Amino acid sequence: MKKLLLVALLSVMPLAAWAEEAKDLAEDPVVEKRLVALAKNLRCLVCQNESLESSHAELARDLRREVREQIRAGKSDQEILDYLVARYGDFVLYEPPVKSYTLLLWFGPFVLLLAGAGVLFYQVSRRRKTVPEANLSAEAQQRAAALLEDEEKR
Amino acid sequence: MMRYIIVVVFLVLSTFLFIQLESGRDPHTVPSPLIGKAAPAFSLPQLHEPAKKFSPADMKGRVWLFNLWASWCVSCREEHPVLMALSQQNIVPIIGLDYEDKTPDAEAWLAKGGNPYLLSVTDVEGRIGIDYGITGVPETFVIDKHGVIRYKEVGVVTPQNLHDTILPLVAQLEREP
């Protein structure tokens, strides 16, 4: 009986997936559109890998309210981002600005790519040296062609 | 040749991993950009006397701790005895901010566990919390005589971080003009 109950309960669990994205309804659509666009690039600070737009966390809700109010107050996107960065640091942005300490973050992958290309180039050029071009006389070449032809016929 | 490169890359990566693990740094703590900046101004009603307001400017000339708490906050229960002990020593005043809380709950909680605060203010909607860049409660700010934030403890004030970091800083700030 207990097992049956467990099965029944587990089987309704997927219904939780129907839960809506965190939305604050009945708002001005223009404001909401800007809010969504802004919040997609902002980090929900308590959930780290979730954007402010999709998070259900209370802090995220409060921050969305703050952003919404600033949009209504006529602040530009940049002003709103500056406001948040002043309080939460660059960490709040999903796209951190290029600064001295983010150089590695921005350009590290390209450095790795170049290093990989270098290693590849080195390896290829080395292999070329170890396998020298065959230097055949005209006679030997004819024989090789004949052998190949023979092979094809068979 | 290739084999050596792979070994070196592996060693470098594992060294980074080891340093990070050993440092004990919690990747969830975000460095606050507010350190060295003036504590954001506000004027909020006091918890016990809602008719009276408090603003950080009232503490000018004093070193103080600004502790954000709530009756619903579980880790605050762990922190509470530490703050109680600190308040009995009369070293540094603690101002509380009751964050997104119901006033009767907050009053009941302080009545039961003791009140370590010189006074508390209520931030029912969490607006001032955002101004202070907090991500949760408890968080504690050390504010100097000029109203500048000098330190922020994210999470619980423990006997250890109190004695190792917060109190030495308070003593230093007391000596500053």
Could you tell me the pTM of the whole model? 0.73
Tell me the percentage of chain A whose pLDDT exceeds 70. 88
Residue to substitute from A50, A66, A88, A91, interface B, most B β-carbons within 10 A? A88
Interface touch B33/A87, C-beta < 8 Å: yes
pLDDT at site A127: 83
H/E segment holding residue B119: strand B119-123
What integer is the mean pLDDT of B31-42?
90
- Nearest Cα of chain A lies from the Cα of B37 at a distance, in angstroms, of 10
How far apart (Å, rounded) are the C-alpha atoms in residues B123 and A83?
20
* Share above pLDDT 70 across residues of chain B, in percent, rounded to a whole number: 96
How do beta strands B139-143 and B64-69 pair? antiparallel
Q: Tokens for A48, please give them.
A: 């780290």
d(CA B150, CA A55): 31
A26 pLDDT exceeds 70?
Answer: no
Q: What is the average pLDDT across B75-97? A: 95
pLDDT single digits (tens) A82-97 = 999 999 888 888 888 8
User: What does the pLDDT read at residue B45?
Assistant: 95
Residue the block writes with tokens 């119901």: B102
Would you say B100 and B125 are in contact if contact means Cβ atoms under 8 Å apart? yes
Mean pLDDT across chain B, nearest whole number? 92
Q: How far is CA B114 from CA B79, B94, B137, B162, B166, in A?
A: 12, 13, 18, 19, 22
pLDDT for position B38: 94
Strand partners of residue B141? B66, B152
Local confidence band at A25 (pLDDT 50, 70, 90 cut-offs)? low
Taking alpha carbons only, the member of A22, A45, A68 closest to residue B139 is: A45
Q: How far is A10 from chain B (nearest CA, A)?
A: 30
Which of B2, B5, B33 faces A89 most closely, judged by CB atoms? B33
pLDDT in tens, B148-162: 999 999 889 999 999
Q: Which of A8-22, A38-52, A120-134 has the lowest mean pLDDT?
A: A8-22
Q: Which residues of B touch A (CB under 8 A)?
A: 2, 5, 28, 30-34, 100, 125-127, 129-133, 135-136
Write down the pLDDT at residue A16: 65
Of A37, A94, A34, A20, the C-alpha closest to A69 is A34
Chain B residues closer than 8 Å to A59 by CB: 126, 135-136
Ranges A9-23, B2-16, B96-110: which has the least confidence: A9-23
Give residue-wise pLDDT tens across range A99-154: 887 888 889 999 999 999 999 999 898 887 776 667 778 888 888 888 988 888 77
- Tokens encoding B93: 């005043």
Query: Which chain A residues are closer than 8 Å to B28 by Cβ?
Result: 48
Residue that has been written with the tokens 């997104």 in this structure: B100
Instruction: Kindly tell me if the per-residue pLDDT of B29 is higher than 70.
Output: no
State the amino acid at position A77 in one-letter form.
D
Tokens 């907050």 identify what position? B106
B30 pLDDT band, cuts 50/70/90, is low
The confidence score (pLDDT) of residue B87 equals 95
How far apart (Å, rounded) are the C-alpha atoms in residues A132 and A120? 19
Structure tokens given for B114 = 């003791």
Non-local CB neighbours of A61 within 8 Å, separated by 6+ positions: A22, A24, A55
pLDDT of residue A2: 76
The region that residue B61 occupies, defined by phi over 0 for left and psi between -120 and 50 for alpha, beta otherwise, is left
Average pLDDT over residues B104-122: 95
pLDDT at B111 (0 to 100):
95
In which residue are the tokens 């005589």 written? B145
